[in-house]
């Protein structure tokens, strides 16, 4: 029904452009409902204006990322208001 819905692994490449860690295995806590999950288990919507990672339990927007050319400069906009925390494992 929602053909643009992907699983959380689909956002790994985009998050990998921003963070120097494997982000699909990072743990998130939802600021809306408190559910914890791996980023790879969240729901990803690849909208043409930006990528939205949503909580699989309550649909709250956990992470919002837009990559565009504001002011003629390539830039990432990252909104993490929807996560209570992100736990990122150091590479071993």
Partner 1 sequence: MGSVMGRFFSRGFRGRRRPREQAESDRVPPGQYLVDGFPVLSAGPTPRTPLDRWDFSIVGEIDAPKRWTWGEFRELPSETFTRDIHCVTKWSKLDTTWEGVSVDTLLGGAETAAGYVTAFCDGGYTTNLPLEEVTGGKAWLAFAYDGEPLEPEHGGPARLLVPHLYLWKSAKWVRGLRLMNGDEPGFWESLGYHNEGDPWREQRYRGD
List interacting residues with partner 1 (CB under 8 A): 1-5, 45, 47-50, 52, 54, 59-61, 64, 66, 68-71, 75, 77, 79
CA neighbor of 32 nearest in space, from 1, 57, 49: 57
Structure tokens at 7: 């699983």
Smallest separation (angstroms) from Zn ion to the CB of 74 = 31
Q: Strand, helix or coil at 78? A: strand
In this complex, which beta carbon is closest to Zn ion, that of residue 36 or of residue 67?
A: 36
Smallest separation (angstroms) from partner 1 to the CB of 92 = 33
CA distances to 3, 65, 78, 81 from 17, rounded to whole Å, are 25, 11, 12, 20
Asked if 55 touches Zn ion (CB under 5 A), the answer is yes
Residues in contact with Zn ion by CB under 5 A are: 30, 32-33, 35, 55, 57-58, 60
């Amino acid at each position: 029904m929602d053909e643009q819905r992907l699983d959380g692994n689909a956002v790994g490449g985009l998050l990998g452009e921003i963070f120097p860690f494997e982000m699909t295995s990072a743990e998130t806590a939802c600021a809306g409902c408190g559910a914890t999950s791996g980023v790879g288990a969240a729901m990803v919507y690849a909208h043409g204006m930006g990528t939205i990672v949503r909580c699989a339990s309550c649909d709250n927007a956990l992470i919002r990322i837009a990559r565009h050319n504001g002011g003629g400069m390539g830039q990432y906009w990252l909104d993490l208001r929807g996560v209570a925390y992100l736990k990122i494992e150091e590479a071993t």
